[in-house]
């Protein structure tokens, strides 16, 4: 049976304006980093995308190297987009990125004009699209002049291959420089995508201030710290878990007794709030004024349901925020 989108899909989602732009993003966005490559059954990926869109998640976040293997997430997404989302393109925000190794030789990595333009052309072909809504430079390039990289992003917008451009993994000082160059070129930076969670708070050390001061949005990736901020590891490391498998997303060495102790205390607070730890962790990231959206990954539709369910209880009292700070600092 052909997919029919839920007619009530926009009723439960919260949409937030991205910086000073005219674009609104869902408070929860779906990342296709893994679980959408060739190692995943296409029907499972299809179900995840259906459930996300039916829940009001309009933003699907990809990159040239997502898979595995690299490129397969975009190809599989493009197939599902054509087969199931025909006629719905204008209700979607589709983003992609380039900046990590994608092909052999000196032109398949980092941030040169040649690499970025060629990479986006490949991404558009894989997805069967004429344009993406947001195109990111995925990480700073220590060798290519920053102005060259930003001029390439500006050119991509002027070509009509992206509606907006963005940054990812840029520290505060470089982000400020890149934002200023893009503004001068006439193609403002829409959004920045940093790694941000209760356990990864580097963006609070200047980056969030830079984004707010410049009217740039923020979308946090890895808000659950690779799965640490869930109920998965409350009693140690399960044999079938991501950490036990030696996944590059979560190293067992990260799950120290000190960390697990904090996880258990945070879980107790989440229970008092009437929600799961994962839901509280997402809400904590969203409560920062600079944050537009949180980027979740999912391998099961229930994980999408949990994330969306968080929106019914996403605010904190001052006492709860103080307790979280005490737990994270080890003072409690």
In a domain, 257, yes or no: no
What's residue 256's pLDDT? 87
| Residue ranges in the chain whose pLDDT is less than 70 | 238-253
In a domain, 197, yes or no: yes
Q: Cis link prior to 68 (omega < 30° from 0)?
A: yes
In a domain, 10, yes or no: no
How many domains is the chain partitioned into structurally? 1
In a domain, 100, yes or no: yes
What's residue 251's pLDDT? 65
What's residue 279's pLDDT? 98
What's residue 244's pLDDT? 53
In a domain, 274, yes or no: no
In a domain, 258, yes or no: no
What's residue 316's pLDDT? 98
What's residue 248's pLDDT? 57
Strands (E), the chain: 15-17, 24-26, 28-31, 59-61, 93-98, 132-137, 162-168, 189-193, 217-221, 293-296
What's residue 70's pLDDT? 96
Domain with 136, as residue range(s), is 15-230+285-311
In a domain, 62, yes or no: yes
pTM of the model: 0.95
Residue 92's CATH number: 3.20.20.100
What's residue 164's pLDDT? 98
Distance separating alpha carbons of residues 43 and 100, to the nearest angstrom: 28
In a domain, 7, yes or no: no
What's residue 245's pLDDT? 56
């Amino acid at each position: 049976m052909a997919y029919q989108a839920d007619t009530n899909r926009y009723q439960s989602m919260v949409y937030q304006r991205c910086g000073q732009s005219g674009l609104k993003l869902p408070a929860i966005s779906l990342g296709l980093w893994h679980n959408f490559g060739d190692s995943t059954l296409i029907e499972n990926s299809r179900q995840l995308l259906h459930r996300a869109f039916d829940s009001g998640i309009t933003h699907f976040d990809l990159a040239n190297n997502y898979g595995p293997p690299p490129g397969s997430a975009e190809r599989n997404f493009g197939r599902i987009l054509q087969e199931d989302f025909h006629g719905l393109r204008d209700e979607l925000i589709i983003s992609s990125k380039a900046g990590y190794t994608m092909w052999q030789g000196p032109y398949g990595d980092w941030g040169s004009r040649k690499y970025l333009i060629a990479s986006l052309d490949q991404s558009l072909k894989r997805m069967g699209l004429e344009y993406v809504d947001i195109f990111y430079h995925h990480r700073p390039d220590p060798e290519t002049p920053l102005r060259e990289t930003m001029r390439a992003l500006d050119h991509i917008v002027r070509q009509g291959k992206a509606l907006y451009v963005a940054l990812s993994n840029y520290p505060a000082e470089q982000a400020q420089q890149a934002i200023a160059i893009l503004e001068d070129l006439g193609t403002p930076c829409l959004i920045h995508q940093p790694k941000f969670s209760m356990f990864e708070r580097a963006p609070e050390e200047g980056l969030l201030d830079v984004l707010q001061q410049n009217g740039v949005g923020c979308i946090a990736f890895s808000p659950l710290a690779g799965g640490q901020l869930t109920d998965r590891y409350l009693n140690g490391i399960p044999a079938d878990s991501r950490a036990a498998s030696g996944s590059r997303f979560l190293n067992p060495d990260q799950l120290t007794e000190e960390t697990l102790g904090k996880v258990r205390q945070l879980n107790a607070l989440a229970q008092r709030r009437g929600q799961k730890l994962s839901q509280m962790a997402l809400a904590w990231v969203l409560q920062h004024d600079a944050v537009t959206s949180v980027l979740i990954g999912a391998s099961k539709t229930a994980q999408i349901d949990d994330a969306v369910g968080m929106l019914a209880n996403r605010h904190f009292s001052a006492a709860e925020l103080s307790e979280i700070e005490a737990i994270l600092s080890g003072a409690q």
